[in-house]
Amino acid sequence: MRAVSMITVLAITGASAATAHEVLPTIGDMEVQGDALSFTLEGNFESLVAGIDLDGLEDTEAAPEADTYDRLRALDPAAFEAEVEAYWPQMAEAITVLVDGTDVPVELVGVQVPDVGDVDLVRASTLQFRAPLPEGAESVQVGWPAEYGVLVLRQTGVEAGWDGYLSGGGLSDPVQLGGGNEMSGLSAFVQFIPVGVEHIVPLGLDHILFVLGLFFLSTRMRPLLWQVTAFTAAHTVTLALATLGYVNIPEEYMWLVESIIAASIVYVAVENIFTDGLNPWRPAIIFGFGLLHGLGFASVLTAYGLPDGAVIPALLGFNIGVELGQLFVIAIAFIIVASAIRLSVDGQVNKVAAAVYMAVAVLVVPLALIPISAMGPEAVEAYLPLLFMVALLAGLSAASCAVERFDTYRHMVAMPASVGIALVGAYWVVERVFL
């Protein structure tokens, strides 16, 4: 069990480093000002100047240009402003602005860069540029290159302004310069569901480990339902309050929230080791932890921006996406261990089931890397910890199916997995508090 736990730590802990060089979307406003369309973008422009391909990337440390990025991140404001200005001609070529279907040039207006601060954190600078508008212009389309990551763009200064989420290259739909293209509630709801799912699978490794900690407490459905209900209710409350502006955690204190989230993972995993049933106080404690997880969700949702006229539908869509991601994790975990649970209850051995489990761990999971690798190195980095967990869980289930005695699932699957989860959570606590 100790060996399994240490392997888990080595394979999974690397994913937590993404918080230091996290890839966030660029947030922008566009507004008609006189005879020009003005754009104001706020984002991590060090990654663009460094030449990092942000399409699907989670952590700038994984990019070949990471050293260049770190050098740029440490520059004082005046020096980095000069770097952005020197890079602007290349950026202007990559950005597309079509006015009534005609490509128009873009002109740099200015760059504002904040002080260096903590070089291990993302620095959000502001870049302004403009595009000329011919007399009588009616619509505009904006193209944002895939390598620049995600752009969340909002039309301001008009009634029912447009909100857009651009990624993967290509052009936006035509936007009426006079307004009227505001995102509908249904569109916002649908658009933010996959954002919520993605924040759990594959990006939310800490939330995945917490949900698995809930899953491994007991083989019975009722304790799981009580825990998931408490967790869902809590993070829904704080997600809504934080997104709507009623609760605000300053950025400099988010490390504390992230540290307590990591501590919550340790708690549920350690309690799994010492008990096999639902204690009366556990749902209440999970509810408290869920409040903090909701703040973590809210920080991500806020970074993506919400359409002004459809905040509630977007919030609901994101929350449903989060729930779908959590249910997916629980469903996959249950499918993997179902035979091990049944044999553990019956006290039987089944060598065929053990062989199938081992085949999944040794053959099926590695083969899954083939289609994932076709999506690029960033996808491999994102999904590798999850595939490792699947392989590990299948391997533990194989061992459980090969032993003829009662309660093998708890002692050979749930407890070793909980130890591994607790060790990873403990590492994250140390990392987020002291490193």
Q: What percent of the chain has pLDDT over 70?
A: 93
What does the pLDDT read at residue 303? 67
Please tell me the pTM assigned to this model. Answer: 0.73
pLDDT above 90: residue 381: no
Which of 237, 232, 244, 236 shows the shortest CA–CA distance to 283? Answer: 232
Please check whether residue 18 is in contact with residue 432, taking contact to mean a CB–CB distance below 8 angstroms. Answer: no
Per-residue model confidence as pLDDT tens digits over 337-348: 999 999 988 888
Q: What is the mean pLDDT of residues 295-311?
A: 74
- 433 pLDDT higher than 70: yes
The pLDDT of residue 5 is: 39
In tens, the pLDDT along 167-207 reads 777 788 899 998 877 677 888 898 889 888 988 988 889 99
The predicted structure's pLDDT at residue 300: 74
**So what's the pLDDT on residue 6?**
38
pLDDT in tens, 79-112: 999 999 999 999 999 999 999 999 999 999 999 9
Is pLDDT at 9 greater than 70 in this prediction? no
- Res 150: pLDDT: 87
Cis bond upstream, residue 202 (ω within 30): yes
DSSP string, 62-120: GSTTHHHHHHHHTS-HHHHHHHHHHHHHHHHHH-EEEETTEE---EEEEEE------TT
**pLDDT for the residue numbered 375:** 76
The torsion region of residue 128 among left (phi > 0), alpha (psi -120 to 50) and beta comes to: beta
Integer Cα distance of 150 and 28 in angstroms: 11
Task: Give the pLDDT band of residue 7 (cuts 50, 70, 90).
Answer: very low
Segment 374-397 mean pLDDT: 87
pLDDT tens across 124-171, in order?
A: 899 999 999 999 999 999 999 989 988 988 898 888 788 887 877 778
Confidence of residue 308 (pLDDT cuts 50, 70, 90): low
Between these two residues, 268 and 380, which has the higher pLDDT value? 268
**pLDDT value at residue 418:** 95
Identify whether the C-beta of residue 60 lies closer than 8 Å to the C-beta of residue 23.
yes
Name the band, by pLDDT with cuts 50, 70 and 90, for residue 252.
confident
- 22-72, pLDDT tens digit by residue? 778 899 999 999 999 999 999 999 999 999 988 877 777 778 898 999 899
Confidence (pLDDT) at 250: 77
Class of residue 419 by CB neighbours under 10 A (exposed 0-12, middle 13-18, buried 19+):
buried
Cα angle value 165/171/173 (rounded, 5°) = 75
